[in-house]
Structure 1
Amino acid sequence: MKKAIGALVSLILLALIWWQVDLSSIRAALAAADGWWLAAGLATIVPLTLVTAMRFGMLTQTPIGLWSATRLILGASSLNLVLPSKLGDLAKAVALTGRHGFDPKLAVGVVVMERSLDMAALLFWGVLALLWVGWGDVWLMLAAAGTGALLVLLVILLSPLRFASRFLSLAGRIAPGRIGRWLSGFGETWQQAVGWFWSDRRRVAKVAAVSLLIWGGHLAQFWLFAQGLGRVPFLDNMAFATLAILAGLLPFTMAGVGTRDAAIVLLYAPYLSAGSAAVLGVLATLRYLVPAIAGLPFMGDYLVQVRKERAA
């Protein structure tokens, strides 16, 4: 039901945006687009997916292999289209538990950590870009401050300090019923995952560096799309793309469609026409849709593993 409501909200927002922008300007933007830049942007999906799969093996320190890790990444992308709040990624915990002997709680913690590293890397590049391009602009500096605060919080949560478990334990005592019990339990799970992660400092350095590389690549992909539609400075694109991606994480739409598009039209207005920005919004959605479609044949991997665990 929640997914259906999100899809409806996304469709309404998209309809409003496209109605305001005017279909003729969108057609004109498509006609004037440089196909080579757009193709280059779409092509980066392949190396970004492969490097993300490589990092998953690096993080888990399992003999999972690049091909198997890629199947997991793509299959999770498919599940994220139908499950709320990126819960498809948690399916990777099933594979870690069933195939590689991970404790179930640790497996969940590791997968959540992977997503947290992604967010921290995005925020890192976003803060730098916002400070560079937004100096003197009140709204962009406020965005930089908010983004920076989120980054600091994530760094603290990912650090070997016991702040996260204490915070979650406190939240668990305050929150009612099942939510409170879940928060208290996850605090222990998270601390277990953090302790396991920091037990190998070389792994921490390598995974952090690769995470920064991955999200630098994602922001560069946005720039390739933008270059095909107009001329957007690279650092400005990094700042705007970060904010657009964050807008897409708001929980009341499907896969960020609608909120991300509105943010793109607003933020890229100094460099792109409304029609070109609307096209950029569609291309931004393709960044998620193409891996999800590619992962459809691999969704069965998760179903087979779940059946095995139930039979065990």
Structure 2
Amino acid sequence: MIYIRKIIATSISLTILAIIYYQIDLKLLGQAMRGLNWQWFGLAIAMIGPLTAASAWRIYFLAPKDARLSFFQSLNLTLMASVLNAVLPSKLGDIARSYALVEQGHMLTADALSLVIFEKTWDVLALSFWCSIGLLWVLLTSDGISPLFYIMACAIILVLFLGGMMVASLHFANGIFSIALNFIPNKKNKKIEMLQSAWCRTLISFWSNKPKAVIFINGSLFLWLMHLFQIWLFVLALNSNVPFLDNAAMASLAIFIGLLPFTLAGIGTRDAAIIFFYQPYIGVPTAAALGLLCTLRYFLPALIGLPFVRQYLVNARRIKEDVKLGT
């Protein structure tokens, strides 16, 4: 079943890419790529290392002390997730880190899953924050804005509210879990209840140390600001110019659309979104080139992380064999 889903996701990605490249002028696309400003491009690529390290620091910083998770172990998990994100939809590789945390004996299943989802929720909130600022700027300064942007602005505000309440209010979070328990089959109720308890523990632990919470929140906001800055550098590398706040809105929306679980690692949907949002600024061929450069943001960390995935698989196999021998 998993392989069928991968085949379907890959087929959808290839179909979307085929439609995109059939409709654009490939000569102009080639010119845009050949005319790259290598200084801006090199600076953007050089940011991949610090951004990956910052992502690893967040899960290390958020993990409880009794998990005994070192920064280098967190970096290992982050690189492993980068590999899985390159072949899975909706960045599910990040969620797979919870399995690794359990396999390596750092945390229990529910606590590990809660920790990873809690961290990803702050990811969504940080990106939504910058997206909302960018969209507000675009709506206030541009003429003839499509109603679609007002709809997307409302959707982003709703995400900020719901996500913010989930990570800030114990009462609200319990209410959402109670609603989920009423709609999910009874067979899975126990798992939901365990996740609910773990989520509440994570939430209480997070807010019990206010200075640490402030550092984590500001770190998340800065991390995503740098992600958007990196994409802006790609725009400059293509010898184009997009106002930074406009870029913050358009890049954020493209990233969110790339998370839709229909394609392989967002390939195709993210490219189409980048072309749709950026073509009024830089034209379709250059926007298509920007889509290719943005794909490097995902695949270069994946290439670096390949040895870590192999190491994890070997360790996981060894642990399972030890368990069998013990029984």
User: Which of 248, 254, 264 pairs up with 1:254?
Assistant: 264
**Residue 40 (str. 1) matches residue 48 (str. 2):** no
Gap change, CA 1:179 and 1:20, over 3 Å in 2: farther
Gap change, CA 1:184 and 1:98, over 3 Å in 2: closer
Whole-Å Cα distance in 2 between the matches of residues 101 and 26 of structure 1? 48
Single out whichever of 127-136 and 64-73 deviates more from structure 2.
64-73
Single out whichever of 177-186 and 44-53 deviates more from structure 2.
177-186
Please give the secondary structure, in 1, of the residue aligned with 2:291.
Answer: helix
Name the structure 1 match of 2:205.
196
Once the two structures are superposed, the pairs formed by residues 151-166 of structure 1 within 5 Å of their partners are 151-166=160-175
Once the two structures are superposed, the pairs formed by residues 143-292 of structure 1 within 5 Å of their partners are 143-176=152-185, 178=187, 182-229=191-238, 230-292=240-302
User: Which of 47, 66, 69 pairs up with 1:64?
Assistant: 69
**Residue 5 (str. 1) matches residue 8 (str. 2):** yes
Whole-Å Cα distance in 1 between the matches of residues 198 and 302 of structure 2? 28
Q: CA deviation at 1:27?
A: 0.7
Once the two structures are superposed, the pairs formed by residues 18-97 of structure 1 within 5 Å of their partners are 18-62=21-65, 64-97=69-102
TM-score by length of 2: 0.88
Residues 86 and 302, structure 2, Cα contact 8 Å, conserved in 1: yes
Gap change, CA 1:188 and 1:64, over 3 Å in 2: closer
Gap change, CA 1:202 and 1:103, over 3 Å in 2: farther
Residues 160 and 195, structure 1, Cα contact 8 Å, conserved in 2: no
Letter in 2 for 1:231: N
Residues 25 and 274, structure 1, Cα contact 8 Å, conserved in 2: no
Gap change, CA 1:292 and 1:170, over 3 Å in 2: same
Residues 10 and 257, structure 1, Cα contact 8 Å, conserved in 2: yes
Whole-Å Cα distance in 2 between the matches of residues 2 and 287 of structure 1? 24
Q: CA deviation at 1:90?
A: 3.1
CA shift digits 1:91-110 (9 cap, x unpaired): 32244345564232111100
How many residues matched? 312
Whole-Å Cα distance in 1 between the matches of residues 245 and 139 of structure 2? 10
Name the structure 2 match of 1:125.
130
> Which consecutive residues of structure 2, in runs of 5 or more, have no partner in the other structure?
none
> Which consecutive residues of structure 1, in runs of 5 or more, have no partner in the other structure?
none
Q: CA deviation at 1:191?
A: 2.2
Whole-Å Cα distance in 1 between the matches of residues 282 and 136 of structure 2? 22
Residues 121 and 163, structure 2, Cα contact 8 Å, conserved in 1: yes
Whole-Å Cα distance in 2 between the matches of residues 66 and 99 of structure 1? 15
RMSD: 2.0
Q: CA deviation at 1:298?
A: 0.2
Letter in 2 for 1:93: S
Q: CA deviation at 1:86?
A: 3.0
Gap change, CA 1:159 and 1:196, over 3 Å in 2: same
Whole-Å Cα distance in 2 between the matches of residues 264 and 85 of structure 1? 17
CA shift digits 1:136-190 (9 cap, x unpaired): 6333232212111111110001114221232122222123455666545433332
Whole-Å Cα distance in 2 between the matches of residues 178 and 257 of structure 1? 35
Residues 63 and 115, structure 2, Cα contact 8 Å, conserved in 1: yes
Residues 240 and 267, structure 1, Cα contact 8 Å, conserved in 2: yes
Letter in 2 for 1:51: A
Residues 60 and 69, structure 2, Cα contact 8 Å, conserved in 1: yes
Whole-Å Cα distance in 2 between the matches of residues 179 and 14 of structure 1? 38
CA shift digits 1:214-271 (9 cap, x unpaired): 1001000110001111111111100100110011011111111111111111111122
Letter in 1 for 2:59: F
Whole-Å Cα distance in 2 between the matches of residues 101 and 187 of structure 1? 20
CA shift digits 1:46-90 (9 cap, x unpaired): 110111112221111445343332121101111223344433223
Letter in 2 for 1:255: A
Whole-Å Cα distance in 1 between the matches of residues 40 and 237 of structure 2? 5
Residues 89 and 266, structure 2, Cα contact 8 Å, conserved in 1: no
